[in-house]
Amino acid sequence: MSDYPHMFTPLDLGFTSLPNRVLMGSMHTGLEETGDWNRVAEFYAERARGGVGLMVTGGMAPNPEGGVFPGAAGLYTPQDIANHRVVTDRVHDAGGKIAMQVLHAGRYAYSPHCVAPSAIKSPISPFPPSELDEAGIEKQISDIATAASRARDAGYDGVEIMGSEGYFLNQFLVTHTNRRTDRWGGTYENRMRLPLEVMARVRASVGSDFIVIYRLSMIDLIPNGSTWEEVVTLARAMEAAGASILNTGIGWHEARIPTIATSVPRRAFTWVTKKLMGEVSIPVITSNRINTPEVAEQVLAEGCADMVSMARPFLADPHFVAKAAKGKSATIAPCIACNQACLDHTFSGKLTSCLVNPRACHETELEITPALSRKTVAVIGAGPAGLSAAITAAQRGHATTLFDKSDKIGGQLNMARRVPGKEEFDGLVEWFATMVDESGVDLRLGTRPTVADLASFDEVIIATGVTPRDPAIAGQEHPSVLSYIEVLAGNAPVGDNVVIIGAGGIGFDVAEYLVTDDSPTEDLDAWKSEWGVADPATARGGLSPNGPQPEAPVRQITLLQRKPEKPGRHLGKTTGWIHRASLRAKGVKMMGGVRYDAIEEDGLRVTLEEGRGESRLLPADSIILCAGQLSERSLADELLAEGRQPHVIGGADVAAELDAKRAINQGVRLASSL
């Protein structure tokens, strides 16, 4: 019997059946916009081979005005149908099923030609939308229905109509964005007319034996969002209008509450979907922060939904479902919900990939094939770069030895995992340990190999990481001064009044670590209270009337940087605001434009750019140095001096702006080429 009996129960939809209860949720990868449909097809086929029950494509525009940006992929010409056919054929050959998401962005379209129920600009777009007239509304409905029937012509098994996350259909549902006084606005009956008309026309255009999913916003997390009564009314009406499945949407894109970031507790919103169970008779899917088979199984076993949707976990590991089915869950590469290579890329106009799996969306270009000749490979440093290189080299058949001076693997990941809200890093280090074992890497911990020890290896990979930069501030030998390494190792006493020098990723992490006692990521009620999330049955849109109620800060913290700009500007595109908001809510003071004059008995003497050049003492009983890092290359330099040609990767190669994404990518790519 399977370890996950609920997950592996087929789902009968009458005219078709899904082999398991796992949906790969829609993700915008950017692959379609490359025009290389072979690459798109390979991305989905790889995931079909991995056994997922049903996949949903990234959002496809039904017309130019509905595209998320000018030139966004869609399905509106015969050539589009031929392109999509490449994908559906490849997926079906691989034994999978795939539905196309029809996404009309409405006022979220990044274009001066965007349209919406009312001419109200979104806070996340510079473009005010045009208000649609009656003919314009009819055109949008008709275009969405036509896109659905073209999806059927292109060989898809179904469509998902995107009705959540604050996109076009969602915009009609709430008064936040719909101020119309005609039959498309006003009462709830009028506001839901457009989404329902879309569903009815889509069903009529595709016939009865075609999957039509409606993604329904179950908690908007915006002012004047839907009530729970309205959600249930819409869900029932959608069933009556022809939906075969309801999928869950959580929060609008403009919501100021995180919904999928790593600091959001696992399965943080399955309680919302559970409220809908029993209100409709069609299957209901739940979503958000479900990233392991154990969590998926638990959600299903508790009756929170009939099916679970996971999206990013399929970037991290396309074979998630197949591995779970074989009882090999420990080998599933975990999605740590960092957004660094997926959503941060999407929102920067770059192709999506995955921090943990650089092959994601690069399936046709980055291939891990058996080595032509077996070599001996030494990797020095078991941080993310070294681990990735060693595992990939061993998987390819090279005899690989991995050395680290420490008594454990993980390098800097071991610091990240101690930060409240970054608990997912635990799973990443555990996965690396499993894969070291599985791939047959010879692991030598507590070992610093010398140049002589490395003489017999065919290839030497230096992944020795970084050392903290010395900011050379007068008086820094004072006992109140600590390095971030001492602090995050948890073995240095830190006072109640703290100044942090350096506001990069690590300065922010240290501030979070020192200001928080118990991580709200480990306690759903505490997290909901911190961000002001309420039951939509009692508070419209799920926004608590009391607003965010964070725990009292454990310490007083001041976070400093020299650059005369807002600290945290260079954090992740989609997550930086969460770190800034979280620290602000806990009273952390952040200052840019600071000159460090000296560390004195009672604190740090600084000159502030805004302070007319006057020197001032920031009282502190602990001063923590988070001033960036330098490459640790001493072994590489010794090897070069001996005439060897080591490969240098990760922080040892370039320390500036180092993160695990670059380290892992570099490790995998190097080892795939040896």
User: What does the binding site for ligand SF4 look like in residue numbers (CB under 6 A)?
Assistant: 312, 315-316, 335-342, 354-356
| 3 state DSSP class of 310 | strand
Minimum Å distance from CB 617 to ligand NAP? 18
Say which entry of ligand NAP, ligand SF4, none residue 503 contacts (CB below 5 to 8 A, set by partner kind): ligand NAP
Residue 508 and residue 263 in contact, taking contact as beta carbons nearer than 8 Å: no
The residue within the footprint of ligand NAP, chosen from 106, 421, 542, 572 (CB under 6 A), is 572
The residue within the footprint of ligand NAP, chosen from 98, 571, 590, 639 (CB under 6 A), is 571
Minimum Å distance from CB 343 to ligand SF4? 7
Stretch that binds ligand NAP, among 5-13, 284-292, 376-384, 506-514 (CB under 6 A): 506-514
The span from the CA of 248 to the CA of 284, in Å, is 8
Nearest CA to 308 out of 287, 329, 292 is that of 287
> How many other C-beta atoms can be found within 10 angstroms of the C-beta atom of residue 366?
17
Say which entry of ligand NAP, ligand SF4, none residue 315 contacts (CB below 5 to 8 A, set by partner kind): ligand SF4
**Would you give the distance in Å from CA 563 to the centre of its chain?**
28
Residue 49 interacts with ligand NAP (CB under 6 A)?
no
The residue within the footprint of ligand NAP, chosen from 160, 197, 423, 509 (CB under 6 A), is 509
Residue 420 and residue 516 in contact, taking contact as beta carbons nearer than 8 Å: yes
Q: Which is nearer to ligand NAP, 436 or 626 (CB)?
A: 626
Say which entry of ligand NAP, ligand SF4, none residue 471 contacts (CB below 5 to 8 A, set by partner kind): ligand NAP
Minimum Å distance from CB 570 to ligand SF4? 18
> Token digits for 57?
């494509």
The span from the CA of 92 to the CA of 522, in Å, is 40
Q: Which is nearer to ligand SF4, 216 or 341 (CB)?
A: 341
Phi, psi of 595 (to 5 degrees): -110, 130
The span from the CA of 523 to the CA of 534, in Å, is 15
Residue 256 interacts with ligand NAP (CB under 6 A)?
no
Minimum Å distance from CB 168 to ligand NAP? 32
Q: Which is nearer to ligand SF4, 343 or 636 (CB)?
A: 343
How many distinct helices (H) and strands (E) make up the chain? 22, 27
Residue 658 interacts with ligand NAP (CB under 6 A)?
yes
Q: What is the DSSP letter of 60?
A: E
Task: Tell me the C-alpha to C-alpha distance, in Å, between residue 326 and each of 1, 49, 426, 439.
Answer: 11, 14, 23, 17
Q: Which is nearer to ligand SF4, 234 or 428 (CB)?
A: 428
The span from the CA of 340 to the CA of 261, in Å, is 10
Say which entry of ligand NAP, ligand SF4, none residue 571 contacts (CB below 5 to 8 A, set by partner kind): ligand NAP
- Give the sign of the dihedral formed by CA 636, CA 637, CA 638, CA 639: positive
> Token digits for 222?
């915006």
Phi, psi of 651 (to 5 degrees): -65, -30
The span from the CA of 307 to the CA of 211, in Å, is 14
Task: Tell me the C-alpha to C-alpha distance, in Å, between residue 194 and each of 199, 375, 506.
Answer: 9, 63, 47
The span from the CA of 238 to the CA of 249, in Å, is 15
Give the length of the chain. 674
> Token digits for 459?
């290839």
Nearest CA to 590 out of 616, 613, 618, 614 is that of 618
Q: Which is nearer to ligand SF4, 191 or 422 (CB)?
A: 422
The span from the CA of 517 to the CA of 515, in Å, is 7
Across-strand partners of 61? 74
Interface positions, 613-642, toward ligand NAP (CB under 6 A): 626-629
The span from the CA of 110 to the CA of 117, in Å, is 16
Q: Which is nearer to ligand NAP, 308 or 624 (CB)?
A: 624
Q: Which is nearer to ligand NAP, 105 or 591 (CB)?
A: 591
Q: Which is nearer to ligand SF4, 143 or 317 (CB)?
A: 317
The residue within the footprint of ligand NAP, chosen from 85, 478, 562, 669 (CB under 6 A), is 562
Say which entry of ligand SF4, ligand NAP, none residue 659 contacts (CB below 5 to 8 A, set by partner kind): ligand NAP
The span from the CA of 501 to the CA of 497, in Å, is 13
Say which entry of ligand SF4, ligand NAP, none residue 505 contacts (CB below 5 to 8 A, set by partner kind): ligand NAP
Interface positions, 423-482, toward ligand NAP (CB under 6 A): 469, 471
Minimum Å distance from CB 520 to ligand SF4? 19
Task: Specify the residue for token string 């692991």.
Answer: 443
Q: How many residues bind ligand NAP (CB under 6 A)?
A: 22
Nearest residue (beta carbon) to ligand NAP: 504
Q: Which is nearer to ligand SF4, 148 or 338 (CB)?
A: 338
Residue 504 interacts with ligand NAP (CB under 6 A)?
yes
Minimum Å distance from CB 432 to ligand NAP? 18
Say which entry of ligand NAP, ligand SF4, none residue 316 contacts (CB below 5 to 8 A, set by partner kind): ligand SF4
Cα angle at 573 between 569 and 575, to 5 degrees? 95
Residue 63 and residue 140 in contact, taking contact as beta carbons nearer than 8 Å: yes
| 3 state DSSP class of 448 | coil
Residue 250 and residue 288 in contact, taking contact as beta carbons nearer than 8 Å: yes
Minimum Å distance from CB 57 to ligand SF4? 17
Say which entry of ligand SF4, ligand NAP, none residue 342 contacts (CB below 5 to 8 A, set by partner kind): ligand SF4
Q: Which is nearer to ligand SF4, 43 or 156 (CB)?
A: 43
Q: List active site positions.
A: 167
The span from the CA of 319 to the CA of 327, in Å, is 12
Minimum Å distance from CB 310 to ligand NAP? 22
Say which entry of ligand SF4, ligand NAP, none residue 626 contacts (CB below 5 to 8 A, set by partner kind): ligand NAP
Q: Which is nearer to ligand NAP, 31 or 338 (CB)?
A: 338
Minimum Å distance from CB 464 to ligand NAP? 16
Residue 336 interacts with ligand NAP (CB under 6 A)?
no
Say which entry of ligand NAP, ligand SF4, none residue 355 contacts (CB below 5 to 8 A, set by partner kind): ligand SF4
Stretch that binds ligand NAP, among 278-286, 307-315, 498-506, 637-645 (CB under 6 A): 498-506
The span from the CA of 289 to the CA of 311, in Å, is 9
Residue 663 interacts with ligand NAP (CB under 6 A)?
no
Say which entry of ligand NAP, ligand SF4, none residue 629 contacts (CB below 5 to 8 A, set by partner kind): ligand NAP
Q: Which is nearer to ligand SF4, 519 or 665 (CB)?
A: 665
Residue 131 interacts with ligand NAP (CB under 6 A)?
no
Residues 6+ positions from 612 with CB-CB distance below 8 Å: none
Across-strand partners of 499? 558, 623
Phi, psi of 384 (to 5 degrees): -60, -35
Stretch that binds ligand NAP, among 260-268, 323-331, 431-439, 501-509 (CB under 6 A): 501-509
Minimum Å distance from CB 507 to ligand NAP? 5
Give the H or E element holding residue 639. helix 634-641
Residues 6+ positions from 446 with CB-CB distance below 8 Å: 404, 405, 406, 407
Minimum Å distance from CB 217 to ligand SF4? 22
Q: Which residues bind ligand NAP (CB under 6 A)?
A: 469, 471, 501-507, 509, 561-563, 571-572, 626-629, 657-659
